[in-house]
Amino acid sequence: MIMYMDPESLKKEVERRALDKTDQEIVEKALVEGVETAWDRLEKQQPQCGFGQLGLCCNRCVMGPCRIDPFGGEPKRGVCGATADLIAARNLLDDLMVGAAAHSDHGREVLEVLMETAEGKGQGYQILDEEKLNLVAGEYDIDVKGKKKEAIARELALAMLEEFGTLKNKIQLVERAPEKTKEMWAKAGIVPRSVDREIVEAAHRIHMGVGADYINILLHALRTSLSDGWGGSMMATEASDILFGTPVPVEALANLGVLKKDEVNIVLHGHNPILSEMIVQASYDADLKKSAKKKGAKGINLVGMCCTGNELLMRHGIPLAGNELDQELAIATGAVETMVIDYQCIFPSITETAKCYHTKVISTSEKSKVPGATHIEFKPETALDSAKEIIRQAIENYPNRDANRVKIPAGPVKMVAGFSEETIRKALGGTYKPLIDAIVAGSIRGAVGIVGCNNPKIKQDYGHIMLGKELIKRDILVVETGCAAIASGKAGLLLPEAAEMAGEGLKAVCKALGVPPVLHMGSCVDCSRILMLAANIAKELNVGIEDLPLGGAAPEWYSQKAVSIGAYFVASGVYTVLGLPPKVFGSVNVLDLLANKLDGVVNAAFAVEPDPVKAADLLEAVIEKKRKGLGI
Ligand code: BF8
């Protein structure tokens, strides 16, 4: 279907949808060719349900669905008697626990692969970071002396897998937090007891007739989020580093221009690196390269999308095609032979988009099947064989590409990624002292973690880029993960030269170290790297994370995982600004708790501010307040 729009309206619509010029080119192509995207579907949903947006719709049981009058009229209670406060709090916990479950289940799968690798059953896997293996094993009291790395890895994988349902009533990695922060959690009664327990208990607590006190429900939300940030997500990061290597700075390219006109393009989309790492390995296979040539292609071009993309970027410099709203645009270039999906943040309609072109979608997880996709199931024992089969199918599909419908934007942007916590620490000489000195001297005022997604309710990347630029201008260092980091890659903020956009103090520090003012720290589970950065700085200063001049922001968030990340930032003492409102505005009490009262519990709270300049004002004010608190 071709869509007709007068040139002026088309231009306006394109500019309304995306900030990046290369994205705009393909947004326009999709509009002209009538390829439906998330922006179109958002439009078709208007007006969206007001009760839902306010968090006042309860669809939890079959006495309902119920809704509460937001203006204080009738009905004030659902059929069961639940109030607006309870309904909004339960809905929020529901979203958060789903997000925590997604991150943590991802972590569990990486640990299972670590286990199989240790037992010699994983095909193509190796233990690449022995230093980290030994360090983490030490935290679990595993004696490493005289043992082979496989034996250590087996014991460690078992110990970490045990964390999911541990009876110890504590998660080992939580011990990494500064003493003062842990005391704060103990006082609030939110120390996470095990990963699965908090998630299952959250599900229990939101069942009709269990928790009726919104405060109690929200405190459990904080505990559940901590079991994600300091548990499931942190284990995902650590196990991935042990298997695939801890990231070090790496140069790469970003935006849709990384697709190639004369090569077999394979987009790796989703979150878990366990299969995509094998696809990278398989892509070096001489026979596969030969068969690509036989089909008329010059080579095999792997590109990343979303957090699987971030994982591969951080460890191999695989180019990034884009972030969440780029998944349909990548297909709309007409140049993608195969999109390989694992799970999370994959549009359920991605196969419908693919039908508009020759693109084949290959699903790989038993948990994440999509109608219309070819399913090649990932199993650690046959991972490399599956990876080769996926590439083979992509090569087979190359001759089906219609050259007349291909448009690949010119000019991918250079970037530097790979800033793991360990890399940052090593670059500073093994201690955070130089960074702390710069913060004390005031050349760096503080740091903000910008994380999270795209959301078609906001011009793609606008929130991330405007806020990032505004913060670095004010000498605030920015660290990023997820789709926020990809946005910065596309915008050129991940280059040392971007220091020119920073204030004088930050610019001088970045130039001295040769680093960008915005540091790419990885995928969304790697928000745990941000936690470790904060924890290690706090420990050097003998304070809590909640005392540091830090902030968090999720300018374009959409997902349940982002709810969990935002909550564990706040629960860890990091004031966090959201660019879009969470679905709680129907309850004045829940809102007051999240925006104000939490401050008395964890020395941090949430704010909502869509305007990036005003969001920067809020973050700067908190950073200055915390500086004062530290006497600097
Ligand atoms: O986990 S930032 S859209 S891709 S949820 Fe998803 Fe959001 Fe992107 Fe990565 Ni995170």
324 CA closest ligand 1 atom index: 3
Distance 556 CA to ligand 1 centre (A): 10
The reply to whether ligand 1 has any atom less than 6 angstroms from the CB of 562 is: yes
State the pLDDT at residue 5.
83
The reply to whether ligand 1 has any atom less than 6 angstroms from the CB of 555 is: no
The reply to whether ligand 1 has any atom less than 6 angstroms from the CB of 453 is: yes
State the pLDDT at residue 2.
57
306 CA closest ligand 1 atom index: 4
The reply to whether ligand 1 has any atom less than 6 angstroms from the CB of 269 is: no
Q: Residue with the nearest Cα to atom 7 of ligand 1?
A: 453
For residues 615 and 553, is the Cβ–Cβ distance under 8 A?
A: yes
The CATH architecture that domain 418-630 belongs to is 3-Layer(aba) Sandwich (3.40)
The reply to whether ligand 1 has any atom less than 6 angstroms from the CB of 307 is: yes
The reply to whether ligand 1 has any atom less than 6 angstroms from the CB of 525 is: no
For residues 152 and 413, is the Cβ–Cβ distance under 8 A?
A: no
Distance 499 CA to ligand 1 centre (A): 26
Distance 308 CA to ligand 1 centre (A): 10
The reply to whether ligand 1 has any atom less than 6 angstroms from the CB of 345 is: yes
Distance 243 CA to ligand 1 centre (A): 22
Distance 524 CA to ligand 1 centre (A): 6
The reply to whether ligand 1 has any atom less than 6 angstroms from the CB of 325 is: no
Query: Looking at the domain 84-244, which fold is it?
Result: Substrate Binding Domain Of Dnak; Chain:A; Domain 2 (1.20.1270)
Distance 413 CA to ligand 1 centre (A): 21
SS3 content of the chain, % helix, strand, coil (to 5): 55, 10, 35
Question: What tens digit of pLDDT does each residue of 444-462 get?
Answer: 999 999 999 999 999 999 9
Distance 324 CA to ligand 1 centre (A): 7
For residues 325 and 460, is the Cβ–Cβ distance under 8 A?
A: yes
Distance 484 CA to ligand 1 centre (A): 9
For residues 18 and 31, is the Cβ–Cβ distance under 8 A?
A: no
Return all residues near 8 (Cβ < 8 A) that are at least 6 apart: none
The reply to whether ligand 1 has any atom less than 6 angstroms from the CB of 524 is: yes
323 CA closest ligand 1 atom index: 8
Distance 434 CA to ligand 1 centre (A): 32
Query: Looking at the domain 250-405, which fold is it?
Result: Rossmann fold (3.40.50)
The SS3 call for residue 505 is: helix
Distance CA(438)–CA(478), nearest Å, equals: 15
Where do we find the tokens 């004031």? 575
The reply to whether ligand 1 has any atom less than 6 angstroms from the CB of 485 is: no
Distance CA(429)–CA(423), nearest Å, equals: 10
Residue span(s) of the chain under CATH 3.40.50.2030 come to 250-405, 418-630
Distance CA(160)–CA(235), nearest Å, equals: 7
Return the H-helix or E-strand segment holding 95: helix 84-118
State the pLDDT at residue 3.
64
The reply to whether ligand 1 has any atom less than 6 angstroms from the CB of 452 is: yes
Distance CA(188)–CA(167), nearest Å, equals: 21
Distance 109 CA to ligand 1 centre (A): 18
Q: Residue with the nearest Cα to atom 1 of ligand 1?
A: 524
Return the H-helix or E-strand segment holding 93: helix 84-118
The reply to whether ligand 1 has any atom less than 6 angstroms from the CB of 559 is: yes
Residue span(s) of the chain under CATH 1.20.1270.30 come to 84-244
Question: What tens digit of pLDDT does each residue of 534-551 get?
Answer: 999 999 999 999 999 999
- Stretches where the chain sits below pLDDT 50 are none
Task: Using most ligand atoms within 8 A of CB, pick from 345, 490, 556 the residue to mutate for ligand 1.
Answer: 345
| Ramachandran angles phi, psi of 68, nearest 5° | -110, 140
484 CA closest ligand 1 atom index: 2
Q: Residue with the nearest Cα to atom 9 of ligand 1?
A: 307
| Ramachandran angles phi, psi of 337, nearest 5° | -75, -45
